[in-house]
Structure 1
């Protein structure tokens, strides 16, 4: 799973949208996520665009978050992460099972490639762990922890879609559309549904330069107790080093990792 860098909090889905839609809580969370994006502290205009919240509402939300200590206003009218948010982040990291890291590390050792772990978050997936490939890898992917990604262009996203009810998939596509990110992106429902059927049949999804040129990924869904996908795990490589056939050969190791991660998530 990989993508190009974007504005703070950008998701790759309906970028730049400014709307009054969404509950007060949803708006606040989007603003907080934008504040925490790399490159901060951020200006008000940047946060307004990234969170897709009107400027006046963004300003009020920031003032409230600053009062509570989740956001810190800098001297130059920029906004950065506050002490309470940093403390919350530390608590979340401390509570993550150490075995998650061991499983992801084992997958990286088995493949020699970059490994991602992402969770399904509404209309997107969110990267929560990333392990770069071996030291001999001549590249570093642009993806980062906290980045939200489209479902229809990524291997993890398609593996999630393949295990969701058909009606829910239609609703998601209706809400986000199928925007093109590269010449290889699937932009029709017929093409996407055909590929999702293949994913269900073989147990993994393939992103063959559909999200980013020269990047090829294989991903598998991580299923909850009821068989509903909570996220997925992927192996990422560059096309000029790893062929389509070679990356698909990682499927057994990928599937084993997804099964091992399921009870931990």
Structure 2
């Protein structure tokens, strides 16, 4: 990759600017390209990545040359073949490591759906899914992006961020209402996250999708920061809340095991 992605070719010392270093900008632009419903307009990529249009254009030219981005020739950009291949390879490697642990959780949770998600900026992305044995299927897909404030994995992550970090996510996303049960008030969200920390697991009680109830546990990285989470998802008309909560100990154990595998 061409080293000079930013306005200045000379590396800066000390703290980076609010907009970030050249590498940080490139990573944010890659994240913006990976948002669903692409390809995306240059203006939208720049806005999501919090960079100027000229910077986005310059970085995308470099990424396109190296196969990480694709220019569709009509002012829109998407992920390139090299990035797609890298993503597929990462998913295969991660799945090989965490698959058995998540399968055991699914079996222990009477065949209900299990997810592993990781934080990507102000959202999270499904990294692995073990489908239910039931005659219905969750709409989630590996690679799909989802909100933090209204999902079990998301709230497990938020509960272990600082209040300032939670407020930054809320300011960025706006805490959109996905169902009538979604928490959209920042004070109420802080209270919910305090409860999550106290009990050691999170609950999505039809907050992201009607008739779907989930429990989640945080997955920490090697320095104790919340990297992602594991969840068990059920349909409310087949699994009672009390039964779902009975899976919490195995869920928490699985989250600890997965932390050593991703």
Normalising to structure 2: TM-score of the pair? 0.75
Q: Is the 8 A contact 1:30 1:51 kept in 2?
A: no
Deviation at 1:56, TM superposition (A): 7.0
Relative contact order: is structure 1 or structure 2 higher (C-alpha 8 Å, sep ≥ 6)? Answer: 1
Provide the C-alpha distance between the structure 2 equivalents of 1:252 and 1:39, rounded to a whole number of angstroms: 37
Q: Is the 8 A contact 1:97 1:264 kept in 2?
A: no
Corresponding residue for residue 103 of structure 2 = 105
* Structure 1 residue 67 corresponds to structure 2 residue 50: no
* Structure 1 residue 214 corresponds to structure 2 residue 232: no
Provide the C-alpha distance between the structure 2 equivalents of 1:166 and 1:76, rounded to a whole number of angstroms: 42
Change beyond 3 A, Cα 1:72–1:187: closer
Kindly provide the CA deviation profile for residues 72-121 of structure 1, in whole angstroms up to 9, marking residues without a partner as x. Answer: 45688875543322442354345437331111111112221111111123
Normalising to structure 1: TM-score of the pair? 0.74
Provide the C-alpha distance between the structure 1 equivalents of 2:179 and 2:45, rounded to a whole number of angstroms: 22
- Helix, strand or coil for the counterpart of 2:237? coil
Corresponding residue for residue 197 of structure 1 = 194
Corresponding residue for residue 184 of structure 2 = 187
Provide the C-alpha distance between the structure 2 equivalents of 1:174 and 1:78, rounded to a whole number of angstroms: 27
Corresponding residue for residue 140 of structure 1 = 138
Corresponding residue for residue 223 of structure 1 = 220
Provide the C-alpha distance between the structure 2 equivalents of 1:148 and 1:96, rounded to a whole number of angstroms: 17
Q: Is the 8 A contact 1:27 1:51 kept in 2?
A: no
Change beyond 3 A, Cα 1:30–1:144: farther
* Structure 1 residue 126 corresponds to structure 2 residue 118: no
Q: Is the 8 A contact 2:118 2:126 kept in 1?
A: yes
Provide the C-alpha distance between the structure 2 equivalents of 1:61 and 1:166, rounded to a whole number of angstroms: 33
Aligned-residue CA RMSD in angstroms?
3.1
* Structure 1 residue 152 corresponds to structure 2 residue 149: yes
Q: Which runs of 5+ in 1 are unaligned?
A: 1-20
Corresponding residue for residue 162 of structure 2 = 165
Provide the C-alpha distance between the structure 1 equivalents of 2:171 and 2:35, rounded to a whole number of angstroms: 27
Provide the C-alpha distance between the structure 2 equivalents of 1:73 and 1:121, rounded to a whole number of angstroms: 23
Provide the C-alpha distance between the structure 2 equivalents of 1:159 and 1:221, rounded to a whole number of angstroms: 5
Instruction: Say which of 233, 236, 239 aligns to 1:236.
Output: 233
